């Protein structure tokens, strides 16, 4: 029975060492410079983007569309679409 515990403890120690090595590897990757996985933003927030939406997107809704409350873009009236196709704002309130 002691042999089983030896194997289990050995496995846990090796697993912990591998996890630590992976953590250190990724930690060094993020400390060495800007991450390539997440692009830097342009400093413009959601509200600014919605306010500066092109005027061509802000037209009156037809019978088969509805306005996005954030940017004014007409979207299809299909209930399966929950988010605006232009700004990804929530359409559930409209």
Per-residue pLDDT of the chain (94 residues; tens, 9 = 90+): 779 999 999 999 999 999 999 999 988 877 655 555 545 555 566 666 666 665 554 455 456 778 888 888 888 887 777 888 888 888 876 4
Domain membership flag for residue 12: no
Domain membership flag for residue 7: no
Residue corresponding to tokens 């390539």: 36
Domain membership flag for residue 79: yes
**Alpha-carbon span 30 to 24, nearest angstrom:** 10
**Phi, psi (degrees; rounded to nearest 5) at 88:** 65, 25
Domain membership flag for residue 10: no
Tally of structural domains, the chain = 1
Helix (H) or strand (E) holding 67: strand 65-67
**Alpha-carbon span 61 to 73, nearest angstrom:** 9
Residues paired with 76 in a beta bridge: 65
Domain that holds residue 92: 66-94
Structure pTM?
0.33
Domain membership flag for residue 40: no
Domain membership flag for residue 56: no
Domain membership flag for residue 77: yes
Domain membership flag for residue 46: no
**Alpha-carbon span 84 to 92, nearest angstrom:** 10
């Amino acid at each position: 029975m002691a042999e089983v515990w030896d194997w289990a403890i050995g496995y846990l120690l090796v697993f912990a060492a591998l996890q630590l090595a992976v953590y250190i590897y990724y930690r060094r990757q993020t400390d060495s410079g800007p991450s390539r996985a997440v692009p830097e933003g342009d400093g413009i927030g959601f509200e600014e983007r919605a306010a500066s939406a092109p005027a061509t997107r802000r037209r009156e809704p037809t019978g088969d569309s509805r306005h996005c409350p954030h940017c004014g873009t007409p979207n299809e009236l299909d209930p399966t679409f929950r988010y605006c196709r232009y700004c990804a704002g929530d359409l559930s309130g409209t």
